Amino acid sequence: MHAEAIDGRSGAPVGAAPSSHPTPVYDIRALEVELGGRRVLGPVDLRIDPGAFLGILGPNGSGKTTLLRALTGSLPPGAGEILLHDRPLSGYRAGELARVVGVVPQQFSLDFGFTVEEMVAMGRYAHSGRGAENGNDTGMRLRGMPERAADGEAVAAALAATELTELSGRLITELSGGERQRALIAQTLAQETPVLLLDEPLNNLDLNHQLEIMQLLVTLHGAGRTIAVVLHDLNIAAQYCEELILLDQGHLVARGTANDVLDPTSILEVFKVRVAVHRQGRRPYITPLWSRTARATKASGDRQVHVVAGGGAASELLEELVLRGYTPSVGVVSVFDSDYATAQRYELDVVSSPPFEPFPEEAIRALDTLMEEAEVIVVAPVFFGCGNLPSLEATLAAAKAGKKIILVERPPITERDLSGGRAGTLIEELLKAGAVEVETPAQAAEAV
């Protein structure tokens, strides 16, 4: 097979005609991969364009490593095809492929007697010109200093980029886990390929070196490299990658920017973890709240809670409850209320109503249903007027039916009663019916 000349920056064949729609680096069509007779990936359709910085996300067993191994050619497709620069991946010779695609695998045995510099120099194997096309040169000839000036410069640059220059003479077997990981990355950098595939390159690295490796990838991306990287840390992926894909049980379930992919609903469905999504500039970052898996292991007697909210009075209370593993229902609140926004952010059941109007009948019926389902009702320190009194009236009915009622009474109802005393009267009746009075949202959550 004739080997086409490859442009060192883009990885595209030299002399290829320019196009407003450039040929993708990878064009993955209906890809399926089987292991042990079981389909573990696919069908997947994916296009990776030149200059992409793609983060591959998903829980354990979702197919991330399988996808990356398929892109390296080490796992043949069971169905579908993978095109690399518009050519079947299977048609590339080993040496030719090694000049286009550099790979940092998740696991690699480094228990041999080479120095760091010698190991990194092996990344120049694809450029050696001896045995590279048929893959029968083991790279042993590279022991010691590289033969060409360009090789020496590439190795020195890779060592410097990964802060291994001072360790260049040390044996690989004497390195820590994090140092070994950096040496493996340095070897791939010395390969000087236009495409980089990295499978969890941050494994065994402390936070400082994790950030340095990601910043290095940003620099390489800025220089024109196409990068696809498997990551476990969603926040690191959000901060550094330009595009993300999300895999679940071998299927591609989401693709887009971090803002598109990292939404609470998708994360809950795929990772079984409820999260809050915040914004840091144009990038999101997430904080975990509770795990659906963890909740599933709790006793079946977990209490269902309803929160009487409104006017932003319940936002802190809702957060306290969610942090403790509850999924309270909320209402009735205006769709413009910050309590409504908080409930939406945490994907809680919420009864809403139009602003500046009495509660409609359907909202009151929905409220009654939620209170019937709840075992505990918590009344936030809401300002009560005639329009939202039905919430207190429904709470009193629930108290008389034997429900546990918790009242957050700071500030006191005398400062929040805008109903001519009717709200105060209802609170007094709730206390007579056995309602528990607390001062803070944290105390209320504890009392549940």
Half-sphere exposure of 192 (CA within 13 A, CB side): 21
pLDDT tens digit string along 221-244? 998 999 999 999 998 999 999 999
Q: What is the pLDDT of residue 394?
A: 94
| 3-state SS track over 137-158 | CCCHHHCCCCCCHHHHHHHHHH
Amino acid letter, 202: L
pLDDT tens digit string along 329-355? 998 998 788 898 888 888 788 888 877
Mean of pLDDT values over 299-304: 57
Fold of 26-128+149-288: Rossmann fold (3.40.50)
Q: What would you report as the CA-atom Rg of the chain, rounded to the nearest whole angstrom?
A: 30
pLDDT above 60 for 292: no
pLDDT above 60 for 279: yes
Among 29-43, 102-116, 384-398, 405-419, the least confident range: 102-116
Cis peptide before 76 (omega within 30 of 0): no
Per DSSP, 334 falls in state: E
Top mean pLDDT of 247-256, 262-271, 333-342 is at 247-256
Distance CA 410, CA 381 (A): 6
Q: What is the pLDDT of residue 108?
A: 67
Residue with tokens 């299927």: 251
For 305-447, give the CATH class: alpha beta
Locate all alpha helices (DSSP H) within 12-148, ordered by sequence.
64-72, 94-98, 116-121
With b for 16 or more beta-carbon neighbours within 10 A and e for fewer, the 355-375 pattern comes to: eeeebeeebbebbeebbeebe
Domains 26-128+149-288 and 305-447 share a fold: yes
Q: What is the pLDDT of residue 397?
A: 94
Q: Where are the domains of the chain?
A: 26-128+149-288, 305-447
Distance CA 114, CA 181 (A): 15
pLDDT above 90 for 361: no
Give residue 140's pLDDT band: very low, low, confident or very high (50, 70, 90): very low
Helix 389-400 × helix 422-432 angle, to 10°: 20
376-379, strands of its sheet edge to edge: 350-353, 329-334, 305-308, 376-379, 404-408, 436-438
Residue bearing the bigger pLDDT, 142 or 41: 41
Mean of pLDDT values over 323-331: 88
Give residue 297's pLDDT band: very low, low, confident or very high (50, 70, 90): very low
With b for 16 or more beta-carbon neighbours within 10 A and e for fewer, the 248-264 pattern comes to: bebebebeeebeebbbb
